[in-house]
């Protein structure tokens, strides 16, 4: 049966750990699994712009010996020109996997439901699993472990990155604190799911409206944009609502001395983070960006030919 990466809900701790081990191997040796996707084609069905996701998938497919097709909104126009079901059924006749970036999460669910080939979520309004897997891989790389690393997310709790981090941190035993303005708390269903996963690990989830409380003694401080793609009309209100949630020198002074600063990028200096922090010595944002490549190569290798990748 084919396997997808839609959200971290259905990925076990064991599978995530195996994925990280393969990603580390791929990072150490760029030519590892060099011919793995030979003769295979991967399509990127993107409805939104992208730098990291598009480039890291395209380069990753190239490293693994496959062929990559970028299908932007002008080509497919998911749900407008053609239904997600028809797109999935058609592309399954040509391709070996789909990476999709959509507005509505349901579009990715539908693509996966109707496709005979793996579907990888490259960002939807609800989840960004490739980002969260990479972030947790990066934490493991910096600290040598994930369990017990205190993670503070400050900003929009009700967005794709925060939701995927909640699920990923809970599964990997990372206590996560989320500081948001009122009415920007995470989606209740995803939060409850993450809380139930956290009960099986040393992960815990703590919500607050105080950034100071969230970062006190934290090992990791994480920021995302205040206005996600598709929310541009709310920009004025959001910039006002998020005032006080900026990650700056005064705020990070409350974290552990050797804390790391993380951001999925793109970043807006002067809004969610100051230049002093994102360009400072604690920031690992470009290591994160690089790790997208290694982690996603592992995702593709595992999903497209699971058994072959694990044996090598
Ligand atoms: N972090 C991330 O997904 O970046 P892009 O939107 O540039 O792909
Ligand atoms: N929350 C952001 C993440 C960008 C990678 C967005 O959806 O725009």
Mean of pLDDT values over 185-205: 96
Query: Is it the case that residue 310 has pLDDT exceeding 80?
Result: no
In a domain, 2, yes or no: no
Query: Is it the case that residue 204 has pLDDT exceeding 60?
Result: yes
- For the chain, the domain total comes to 2
Q: Give CA torsion, residues 59, 63, 67, 70, to 10 deg.
A: -10
Same domain, 163 and 47: no
Ligand 2: residues within 6 Å at CB?
159-161, 224-225, 228-229, 264
In a domain, 297, yes or no: yes
Same domain, 59 and 143: no
Same domain, 276 and 296: no
Which DSSP state fits 155?
A: S
Range of the domain at 239: 131-288
- A 10 A CB-CB count for 1 gives 2
Same domain, 267 and 138: yes
Same domain, 37 and 167: no
Query: Is it the case that residue 312 has pLDDT exceeding 60?
Result: no
Q: What is the pLDDT of residue 203?
A: 86
Query: Is it the case that residue 54 has pLDDT exceeding 80?
Result: yes
And the tokens for 64? Answer: 């693994």
Assign 301 to helix, strand or coil. Answer: helix
Q: If you measure from the C-alpha of residue 30 to the centroid of ligand 2, how many angstroms do you get, rounded to a whole number? A: 28
In a domain, 79, yes or no: yes
Q: 0.95 cut: is pTM over it?
A: yes
Mean of pLDDT values over 175-192: 98
192 CB contacts (<8 Å, ≥6 apart)?
none
> Which of 45, 48, 50, when mutated, tests ligand 1's pocket best, judged by the most ligand atoms within 8 Å of its CB?
50
And the tokens for 270? Answer: 């002067």
Same domain, 271 and 297: no
Give CA–CA dist 116/97, Å, rounded. 9
Burial class (CB in 10 A: 0-12, 13-18, 19+), 19: buried
Which DSSP state fits 50?
A: -
In a domain, 100, yes or no: yes
In a domain, 50, yes or no: yes
32, 63, 101, 163: the active-site residue: 101
Which of 7-11, 93-97, 109-113, 198-202 has the lowest average pLDDT? Answer: 198-202
Rounded to the nearest 10 degrees, the angle between the axes of helix 285-304 and helix 52-63 is 50
Same domain, 251 and 179: yes
Mean of pLDDT values over 83-95: 97
Q: What is the pLDDT of residue 306?
A: 58
Farthest CA pair distance, the chain: 55
Q: What is the pLDDT of residue 202?
A: 87
Assign 129 to helix, strand or coil. Answer: helix
In a domain, 1, yes or no: no
Same domain, 144 and 266: yes
Mean of pLDDT values over 18-40: 97
Assign 2 to helix, strand or coil. Answer: coil
36, 128, 177, 294: the active-site residue: 128
Summary mean pLDDT of the chain:
96
Q: If you measure from the C-alpha of residue 312 to the centroid of ligand 1, how many angstroms do you get, rounded to a whole number? A: 30
Query: For residue range 134-152, what is the model confidence (pLDDT) as tens digits?
Result: 999 999 999 999 999 999 9
In a domain, 94, yes or no: yes
- A 10 A CB-CB count for 70 gives 14
Same domain, 247 and 304: no
Residue position matching structure tokens 């084609």: 41
The sign one gets for the Cα dihedral 189, 215, 219, 224 is positive
Same domain, 136 and 280: yes
Same domain, 51 and 76: yes
Bridge partners, 101 (sequence order):
46
- CATH number of the domain enclosing 58: 3.40.50.1370
Query: Is it the case that residue 162 has pLDDT exceeding 80?
Result: yes
Same domain, 115 and 136: no
In a domain, 3, yes or no: no
């Amino acid at each position: 049966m084919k396997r997808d990466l839609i959200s971290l809900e259905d990925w076990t701790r064991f599978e995530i750990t195996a994925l990280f081990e393969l990603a580390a191997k791929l990072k150490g040796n760029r030519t590892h699994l060099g011919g793995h996707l030979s003769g295979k084609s991967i399509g990127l069905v993107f409805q939104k712009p992208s730098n990291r996701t598009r480039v890291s998938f395209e380069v990753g497919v190239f490293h693994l010996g496959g062929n990559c097709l970028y299908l932007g909104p002008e080509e497919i126009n998911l749900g407008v020109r053609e239904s997600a079901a028809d797109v999935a059924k058609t592309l399954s006749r040509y391709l070996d996997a789909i990476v999709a970036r959509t507005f509505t999460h349901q579009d990715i669910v539908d693509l996966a439901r109707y496709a005979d080939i793996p579907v990888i979520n490259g960002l939807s309004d609800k989840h960004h699993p490739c980002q969260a897997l990479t972030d947790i891989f990066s934490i493991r790389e910096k600290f040598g472990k994930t369990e017990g690393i205190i993670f503070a997310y400050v900003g929009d709790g009700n967005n794709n990155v925060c939701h995927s981090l909640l699920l990923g941190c809970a599964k990997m035993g990372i206590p996560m604190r989320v500081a948001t303005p009122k009415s920007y708390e995470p989606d209740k269903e995803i939060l409850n799911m993450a809380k139930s996963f956290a009960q099986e690990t040393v992960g815990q989830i703590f919500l607050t409206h105080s950034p100071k409380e969230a970062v006190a003694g934290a090992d990791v401080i994480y920021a995302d944009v205040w206005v996600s793609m598709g929310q541009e009309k709310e920009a004025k209100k959001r910039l006002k609502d998020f005032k006080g949630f900026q990650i700056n020198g005064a705020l990070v002074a409350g974290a552990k001395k050797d804390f790391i600063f993380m951001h999925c990028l793109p970043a807006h200096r002067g809004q969610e983070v100051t230049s002093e922090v994102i360009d400072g010595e604690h920031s690992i944002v470009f290591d994160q960006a690089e790790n997208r490549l290694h982690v996603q190569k592992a995702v593709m290798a595992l999903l497209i030919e699971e058994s072959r990748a694990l044996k090598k």
